[in-house]
Amino acid sequence: MSKPPTTPTEDLEDLYENAPCGYLSLQPDGRIVKVNKTLAIWLGVPAEQLLGKRLRDLLNMAGRIFYETHFAPLLRMQGYFNEVALDLMTADGDKLAVLANATERRDDSGNLVFTRVTLFQATERRRYERGLVDARTASDAAGAVLKSDAVLREQFIAVLGHDLRNPLASINSAARMLRKEPLSDTSIRILHLMQGSVFRMSALIDNILDFARGRLGDGLSLDRNSSEPLTPVLQQVVEELRSSHPDRNIETDFTIDDPVDCDRGRIGQLLSNLLGNAITYGKQDEPVQVSATTGGGVFQLYVANGGAPIPSEAIASLFKPFFRGDVRASQNGLGLGLHIASEIARAHGGELTVTSNIDETRFTFTLSLS
């Protein structure tokens, strides 16, 4: 009597490396710590070269914006994300359409240990969906051509300036109300995370809105006034960043004795971008220095932090939109903050400069008062 066939033992390592989907694991700081062969083959990049990179580094520009403004904040808020459509960039510069699922793994204390991401190829699905859109567009072509670029521009800016801000304001208000209630340590930590995400999202919206206005022709608008004091605006910006980063030491020196003809809101935005940049990239155990002074017919505002110096080859591109140096990469931001800050300085007729060495990195905004 013949023996029944034996079932081969499943090789879990082979199952992971050669699965019909891409796997990668992210450290708490967002860097890739593990990736399977399947994803490496899809991208045309050896797996070892992907280690240490961040998921956003594998995306095209539209995917990076979506990741920073939607994917990452929601992942931090609810701990998972399902069926997110993204476009990865291959070694040949081609786009690879995928659907991404992500889930966080936390320890018993609620600390993030790592994030698992699963990627499925979606090229055929995306082609089918685009075909449906193209068919619908063709049938409505006669009406679509009547829409002008000006209308599209205003709709886009309205979405950024209104439709995205209102939900953030509601979330922030709800968080402030909850802080007045008796809360557990875990609830306080979650509320702090929520308010930090709201502040970061609001800053991202401001930067994208200003970038869109600049590229679509309107440019940055200024409401200059020399009669109102500037110091309270700068102090408010510092307090907002202190609230969002209670573990960081921010030292200030505001000595503004002369009137400054400027748009106070814009100068506050410039400081917020510079200070947020310093907190993100500066050495954690050293204070961030903020100074604003007048004297000799000049207004000068600077933000300085310790830490590794900016490479000289990166300084030339530092104020360009979407620029993010590899050495100082971060999972936060779109690379617009410094660009918008430089545009605000230029709109005022001033100048934003940077110096960086082993002692400190300093961004300085200078504006003539004459």
Determine the average pLDDT of the residues in 278-294: 93
Q: 365: Cβ–Cβ under 8 A, 6 or more apart, which residues?
A: 270, 274, 300, 301, 302, 341, 345, 350, 351, 352
- Asked if the model's pLDDT at residue 79 lies above 80, the reply is yes
H or E element: which one contains 215? helix 185-215
Can you point out the beta strands (E) in the chain? 22-26, 32-35, 80-89, 95-106, 112-121, 250-255, 288-295, 298-305, 351-356, 361-368
Output the CA torsion sign for 206, 210, 216, 217: positive
- Asked if the model's pLDDT at residue 11 lies above 90, the reply is no
- Asked if the model's pLDDT at residue 309 lies above 80, the reply is yes
pLDDT (tens digit per residue) in 202-239: 766 776 666 666 655 556 778 888 888 999 999 988 98
pLDDT value of residue 73: 80
Q: Which two tokens stand for residue 123?
A: 């090229």
pLDDT value of residue 306: 94
pLDDT (tens digit per residue) in 314-365: 888 888 876 655 444 444 555 678 888 888 999 899 999 999 999 999 999 9
pLDDT value of residue 222: 81
- In the sheet with 250-255, reading across from the earlier edge strand, the strands are 250-255, 288-295, 298-305, 361-368, 351-356
Q: What percent of the chain lies above the pLDDT cut of 90?
A: 35
- Asked if the model's pLDDT at residue 88 lies above 80, the reply is yes
Determine the average pLDDT of the residues in 52-59: 90
DSSP for 111-150, written as a single string: -EEEEEEEEEE-HHHHHHHHHHHHHHHHHTHHHHTT--HH
pLDDT value of residue 229: 92
Q: Which two tokens stand for residue 44?
A: 């045309």
Q: How far apart are CA 260 and CA 299, in angstroms?
A: 7
pLDDT value of residue 362: 97
Determine the average pLDDT of the residues in 103-108: 90
